Structure 1
Amino acid sequence: MNPSLEAVTEWLNANSNQILHISKVEEQDRDQVNLHLKRAELQRRQVPSIDGYADMDTLLLEGDGIVITDGQEAPLPDKRFTIALDGLSETKVNDGQVTLVTERGTYAITVPSPQHLH
């Protein structure tokens, strides 16, 4: 496992059973997710799919949550949030936040204080 991804996975697992706030920015589009993290798992695929659409490595965050897009809230599909790690160029881990930069976008995962939860 990439050492930086190991630190990310350790941080996530240390914050399981808490509400996490995920901010995802992809090409001027920003989505936000509030997720009660049950489990985090790094999934590796050795062979890409035939159609080329499946990601090689993904970070799977499981739990109940809501997606907030353009001020509208919706339940998190399948009770999971997946981050494609293809083209991962940067990871930052500190006490209160993890940041991942991939070819698709930037993801910031924080443990918000209770008054900042929506």
Structure 2
Amino acid sequence: MHMQLLEVSDWLNAHINESIWIDKREQEDLDQVRVQLEEIGFRESTQSLDGYTDGSAILLHGAGHVIKEEQEVPLPQNTFEIQVSGLVQAYVKNDKAYLETERANYSLRAE
């Protein structure tokens, strides 16, 4: 695991059994996700059929929803993946966690 991810991983572990709100910005798209965090995991680099989920990822396990256009769609398999291949930076500031990769930016907060 990348050293910068340890601080974010510690932050996530401190918020187990809490709701985590995630804003994911990818190009012009903003996805908002809410996860009732039960546990976190880490997937080492893999190769998928579609290429979209290739690489390493932080796995947030728990019931959750993707919120789009005021509709909530359940997370597939109760897991949200934060792709961390191409990690530029990851840090915790003002009780929020931030991750920036070559593909997307993530902002996480607990409630």
TM-score of the pair, normalised by structure 1: 0.84
Superposed displacement of residue 52, structure 1: 7.9
Change (3 A) 1:94 1:69: same
Superposed displacement of residue 95, structure 1: 5.0
Equivalent residue for 1:49? 47
CA contact (8 A) 1:55 1:85 kept: no
Paired residue type of 1:33: V
Unaligned runs of 5+ in 1: 113-118
Paired residue type of 2:66: V
Distance in 1, matches of 2:2 and 2:55, equals 14
Distance in 2, matches of 1:42 and 1:4, equals 14
Equivalent residue for 1:37? 37
How many residues are treated as equivalent by the alignment?
A: 110
Distance in 1, matches of 2:86 and 2:23, equals 18
* 1:109 pairs with 2:99: no
The structure 1 segments of at least 4 consecutive aligned residues displaced by more than 6 Å after TM superposition are none
Q: Deviations over 1:34-63 (max 9, x none)?
A: 110001112213xx5386825221110000
Distance in 2, matches of 1:31 and 1:67, equals 7
Equivalent residue for 1:73? 72
CA contact (8 A) 1:60 1:80 kept: yes
CA contact (8 A) 1:21 1:35 kept: yes
* % identical aligned pairs: 35
Change (3 A) 1:10 1:50: closer
Q: State the structure with more CA Rg.
A: 1
CA contact (8 A) 2:48 2:54 kept: no
